[in-house]
Amino acid sequence: MADLTAEEFAQRAIDYDLIDAQTMDQVWSEVGSREIALGEFQNALLRRELLTNYQVERLLKGLRTGYFYGDYKVLYLIGTGTFARVFRTVHRETGKVVAAKVLRRRFSDDAKRADQFMSEGELGKGLRHPNICPIFEVHSESSMHQKGTNYFLIIEFIEGQNLREMLKVRGRFDPADAAKLMIDIVAGMTYASEQGLTHRDLKTSNVLISSNGRAKLVDFGLAAFADQVQEDGAATNPRTVDYAGLELATNAPRDDHRSDIFFAGCILYEMLTGKPALFETRDRTKRLSAERYTKFEPVAKAAPELPRSIAMVVNKAMELDPDRRYNTPGEMLLDLKASQKKMEEGEEAAAGDIIMKLEAEKIPEQVPKEQEGLNRTIMVIEANEKMQNVLRERLKRYGYRVLIIGDPDRAMIRFEEDMQKPADIVVFSTVALGMKALDAFNRFATDPHTKDVPAILLLRAEQEELKEQASLSKIRDVMMMPMKVRQLRNMVRDLLNDPKAKDA
């Protein structure tokens, strides 16, 4: 390279079909001499945008490949991943700018993997949605200058950056901005789900944000290929391990379609709090650990000032039990849009209000001598661990036996199987269960095993209209949150027809 002259460099550019001879003659005329220094000549070509730095570096090294993929000229490297490199390219004739995702050589030499890469590319090629980065073409071609075959996809080039990069700069998003981007992401997921496809590699780096602020998912259709990529005997795609760990922790079937929803919730969590929900580690065993999917900080605690509705979307999307998660991306999309509308109206309480209000409630230093809850059992149906702990602690101080159950169906089974009723009164909370709590409250009103058991439905302030759907009676009532535990105790005694005096 040190002995290379400007003329020799120019000839390489012509030989490798980067610049035609006529254009090069024009450059020589403009620079005025063929005795020009190599560095000065390179700069002249760069200023005229006849070459890019990527092309110059390869020409200086004498590399004969990597300048073209099919009809597309490579301008520069955009990024690298486990199994492919992505380049910004331009069509030789039309000038259309696109991206080329090129399978790495170590995988393209494996016929089985190369075929799968092509098959997955063809699968993704059928997706056309504003929030999914489209695959335009799927190619394989042999090169005269190297052994083997190049396998590559031509996809949309998006001017912008990925969500992971944006989070590094911004730290966290305003809830309204996070909701807008998440609606884009889940809209793309919903469309793909309707075509029978899941993503299986949802993460912030697979979300591209265009210059006009639209979120687009990339690598739809390529997750099955990534699943098979191995290096040194271990999967090299960490998210593939994450999906496996989640499904092991929840006893869900492999490739459960609801796993995408959990990781969409993780993306929203990180946008809202500025930190990942799951602790980061490169250790495969730790990534597969069930604790990783159960011991993250609740979003309402990590960011208690969040609007309650957006926090509830995170909670439901990240339910450990897949049966309590959103069943489809479409369900999540509806809640996201409802939350966006509430934020626009600007009258929503903060996510931490319910829990903080309960925690802040003043408790008498001494429990009254008369134990109001003596020989009384309250069953609380609530899936939010923080809310469970608060209610258990407060009610037990007044002598109540508190039975916590996270699933309404299990509560019903308890009443069906126990010869003696397991609780004197049941409290259904919508903090984590939402509509599922209302449905269970109404079901308890008609089931022969529970219809005579007093019950209370706890509704969030924004759910007041659901009161009209609740089956109420003399022993069944609704309480709005935020509330004080004193108010809850008073209602319990009312419904139990307890003669003990109410608190003042």
Q: What is the mean pLDDT of residues 275-297?
A: 83
pLDDT, greater one: 163 or 415: 163
Give the pLDDT band of residue 365 (cuts 50, 70, 90).
Answer: very low
pLDDT at 419: 66
Query: Which segments of the chain belong to CATH 1.10.510.10?
Result: 160-223+236-345
Going by C-alpha positions, the residue among 220, 202, 260, 227 that lies closest to residue 127 is: 220
Percent of the chain with pLDDT over 70: 88
Give the pLDDT band of residue 504 (cuts 50, 70, 90).
Answer: very low
Task: Collect all residues with Cβ–Cβ distance below 8 Å to 46 and sequence separation of at least 6.
Answer: 52, 53, 56
Would you say domain 6-156 falls under CATH 3.30.200.20?
yes
Percent of the chain with pLDDT over 90: 54
Task: Tell me: pLDDT of 366 over 60.
Answer: no
Give the pLDDT band of residue 12 (cuts 50, 70, 90).
Answer: very high
Longest dimension (CA), the chain: 107
Q: What is the mean pLDDT of residues 419-432?
A: 87
481 beta partners? 460
Q: What is the mean pLDDT of residues 468-495?
A: 91
Residue 428 Cα distances to 354, 373, 459, 460, angstroms: 15, 19, 9, 12
* 3-state SS string for 447-488: CCCCCCCCEEEEEEHHHHHHHHHCCCECCEEEEEECCCHHHH
Of 32-36, 285-289, 454-458, least confident by mean pLDDT is 285-289
What pLDDT digit, counting tens, does each position of 198-215 carry? Answer: 888 899 999 999 999 999
pLDDT at 500: 46
pLDDT at 358: 55
Q: What is the rounded CA–CA span in Å between residue 136 and residue 346?
A: 42
Cβ atoms of 216 and 207 within 8 Å: the answer is yes
Of 33-42, 195-204, 333-342, least confident by mean pLDDT is 195-204
Classify domain 362-495 at the CATH topology level. Rossmann fold (3.40.50)
pLDDT at 36: 94
Exposed, middle or buried, 315 (CB in 10 Å: 0-12/13-18/19+)? Answer: buried
What pLDDT digit, counting tens, does each position of 44-64 carry? Answer: 999 999 999 999 999 999 999
State the pTM of this model.
0.67
Q: What is the mean pLDDT of residues 332-341?
A: 95
Helices (H) and strands (E) in the chain, counts: 21, 16
Would you say domain 160-223+236-345 falls under CATH 3.40.1190.20?
no
* 3-state SS string for 51-103: CCHHHHHHHHHCCCCCCEECCEEEEEEEEECCCEEEEEEEECCCCCEEEEEEE
The DSSP call for residue 424 is S
The DSSP call for residue 307 is B
Neighbours of 208 (CB within 10 A): 21
Cβ atoms of 115 and 138 within 8 Å: the answer is no
Residue 281 Cα distances to 223, 245, 302, 334, angstroms: 21, 13, 20, 33
Residue 461 Cα distances to 326, 347, 387, 390, angstroms: 22, 11, 16, 19
Binning the chain into helix, strand and coil, the percentages to the nearest 5 are: 45, 15, 35
Task: Tell me: pLDDT of 261 over 50.
Answer: yes
Going by C-alpha positions, the residue among 408, 405, 366, 376 that lies closest to residue 388 is: 405
Q: What is the rounded CA–CA span in Å between residue 239 and residue 245?
A: 9
Q: What six digits make up the tokens of 307?
A: 């609007």
pLDDT at 18: 95
Query: Which segments of the chain belong to CATH 3.40.50.2300?
Result: 362-495
Q: What six digits make up the tokens of 372?
A: 């109001």
- What is the DSSP track for 321-382? STTTS-SSHHHHHHHHHHHHHHHHHT-PPBTTHHHHHHHHS---SS--SS-TTTT-EEEEE-
Going by C-alpha positions, the residue among 488, 407, 504 that lies closest to residue 455 is: 488
Give the pLDDT band of residue 413 (cuts 50, 70, 90).
Answer: confident
Give the 3-state secondary structure of residue 200. coil
pLDDT at 385: 81
**Backbone φ, ψ for residue 229 (5° rounding):** -70, 120
Going by C-alpha positions, the residue among 213, 196, 338, 315 that lies closest to residue 261 is: 315
Q: What is the mean pLDDT of residues 234-238?
A: 51
Q: What is the rounded CA–CA span in Å between residue 320 and residue 313?
A: 14
Q: What is the mean pLDDT of residues 377-396?
A: 88
Going by C-alpha positions, the residue among 241, 248, 157, 161 that lies closest to residue 201 is: 241
pLDDT, greater one: 87 or 416: 87
Helix axes 175-194, 329-345, angle to 10 degrees: 160
Give the pLDDT band of residue 145 (cuts 50, 70, 90).
Answer: low
Q: What is the mean pLDDT of residues 389-414?
A: 87
Task: Tell me: pLDDT of 132 over 70.
Answer: yes
How far from chain centre, in Å, is Cα 366?
47
Exposed, middle or buried, 384 (CB in 10 Å: 0-12/13-18/19+)? Answer: buried
Task: Tell me: pLDDT of 219 over 50.
Answer: yes
Q: What is the rounded CA–CA span in Å between residue 138 and residue 141?
A: 10
What pLDDT digit, counting tens, does each position of 297-309 carry? Answer: 999 989 999 999 9
Give the pLDDT band of residue 357 (cuts 50, 70, 90).
Answer: low
Cβ atoms of 194 and 254 within 8 Å: the answer is no
473 beta partners? 476
What pLDDT digit, counting tens, does each position of 158-184 carry? Answer: 998 999 999 999 999 999 999 999 999
Q: What is the rounded CA–CA span in Å between residue 405 and residue 64?
A: 67
Give the 3-state secondary structure of residue 106. helix
Supply the mean pLDDT for the chain: 86
Give the pLDDT band of residue 355 (cuts 50, 70, 90).
Answer: low
Task: Tell me: pLDDT of 2 over 60.
Answer: no
pLDDT at 229: 46
Query: Which segments of the chain belong to CATH 3.30.200.20?
Result: 6-156
Give the pLDDT band of residue 280 (cuts 50, 70, 90).
Answer: confident
Of 186-200, 257-271, 280-294, 426-440, least confident by mean pLDDT is 280-294
Q: What is the mean pLDDT of residues 430-454?
A: 90
pLDDT at 348: 64
Cβ atoms of 381 and 429 within 8 Å: the answer is yes
pLDDT at 108: 87
